[in-house]
Amino acid sequence: MILHKTVLLQEALHYLDVRSNEHYIDATLGGGGHTESILDRNGPNGKVIAFDLDEDTIIRTQERLKRFGDRLAIIHDNFRHIAAASDYDLRISGILYDLGLSTDLIKSSGRGFSFLRDEPLDMRFSIEQRQTAAHIVNTLSEQKLADLIYRFGEERYSRRIARAIVAQRRKQKFSTTAELVSIIERSVPPPYRRGRIHCATRTFQALRVAVNDELGALEKSLSDAAGLLKAGGTLVVISFHSLEDRIVKLFFRVLKQQGSAEILTKKPVIAQEDEVSLNPNARSAKLRAIKILTL
């Protein structure tokens, strides 16, 4: 599970090429680390339009960044609807996605994003969403549950885990993260249980991705984002697992083949060792960037 801090900050700013009085979109506001750095550089009149689904996160970050006044506009919505930024009628010079899970959600939401905390098995980015992780583990067939855990979590023991979940829910429905972690730990081989990555990591990732339709949202958002950028504008994406990175890589490749973009990162940019030593989770981060050539 990615306990997220601002990563690849200088690299993101480099590829965004932040300039005075130009306008940017931060598709993933979170704690506002990237947003703050952009606003520090695009003054005195440049704006940032930022998206976030979690109301509590927005309140905290808005308060922290209140010194920027109306130069920061926050849209309470999923970046799936990034096209809403067009309502501001601004020429956008750069768009940034940081797809790591916000620390605010993990520590403060109480919605079960981390297997290290015993919380309700929820995992919704917004309480306005209907489907929860508990609903998935308590209702999906064993086959569908195994397929979901394998597809979205790339979990090699997905069938064992699904089988154990279904057997347990016949006795008692799942309602907390601790209950789910316990079953996962009992269903996988002992060496896997003691591995470098916690044995529940991939299952929790799979459930979170499914609950929030993260991959579908990313695909739609990227398509709309490219159309928001002015010629010469840049699109920068920081991903943290291979499913996201694959979507970004293929999308960028299509734009290049169409002649509408230039890929700025031949290989994904990764964190340097000094950053990793301070924030081990940065090791998973991959940054890709493109420049839009035509409108």
DSSP annotation of 102 reads B
Q: Examine the domain organization and report whether 188 and 66 are in the same domain.
A: no
Q: Examine the domain organization and report whether 95 and 219 are in the same domain.
A: yes
Q: Examine the domain organization and report whether 206 and 114 are in the same domain.
A: yes
**Residue 281 contacts residue 100 (beta carbons within 8 Å):** yes
Q: Examine the domain organization and report whether 142 and 204 are in the same domain.
A: yes
* Distance, CA of 207 to CA of 205 (rounded, Å): 6
**Residue 236 contacts residue 287 (beta carbons within 8 Å):** yes
> Tokens for 139?
């209702």
CATH of the domain at 121: 1.10.150.170
Q: Examine the domain organization and report whether 22 and 97 are in the same domain.
A: yes
- 278 domain residue, yes or no: yes
* pLDDT digits (tens), the chain, 295 positions: 444 568 999 999 999 999 999 999 999 999 899 999 999 999 999 999 999 998 888 999 999 999 999 999 999 999 999 999 999 999 999 999 999 887 767 777 789 999 988 999 999 998 888 899 999 999 999 999 999 999 999 999 999 999 999 999 999 999 999 999 999 999 999 999 988 899 999 999 999 999 999 999 999 999 999 999 999 999 999 999 999 999 999 999 999 999 999 999 999 999 998 988 888 878 899 999 999 997 5
Q: Examine the domain organization and report whether 153 and 271 are in the same domain.
A: no
Q: Examine the domain organization and report whether 194 and 227 are in the same domain.
A: no
Given this model, what pLDDT does residue 26 score?
Answer: 98
- 190 domain residue, yes or no: yes
**Residue 15 contacts residue 95 (beta carbons within 8 Å):** no
pTM for the full predicted model: 0.93
**Residue 90 contacts residue 47 (beta carbons within 8 Å):** yes
Q: Considering 175, 191, 212, which residue would you say is the last residue of a domain?
A: 212
Whole domain around residue 201: which residue ranges? 110-212
* Distance, CA of 79 to CA of 100 (rounded, Å): 14
- 229 domain residue, yes or no: yes
Helix 9-16 × helix 33-41 angle, to 10°: 40
Given this model, what pLDDT does residue 3 score?
Answer: 45
Given this model, what pLDDT does residue 6 score?
Answer: 84
CATH of the domain at 72: 3.40.50.150
Given this model, what pLDDT does residue 1 score?
Answer: 44
Among 214, 211, 148, 149, residue whose Cα is nearest residue 184: 149
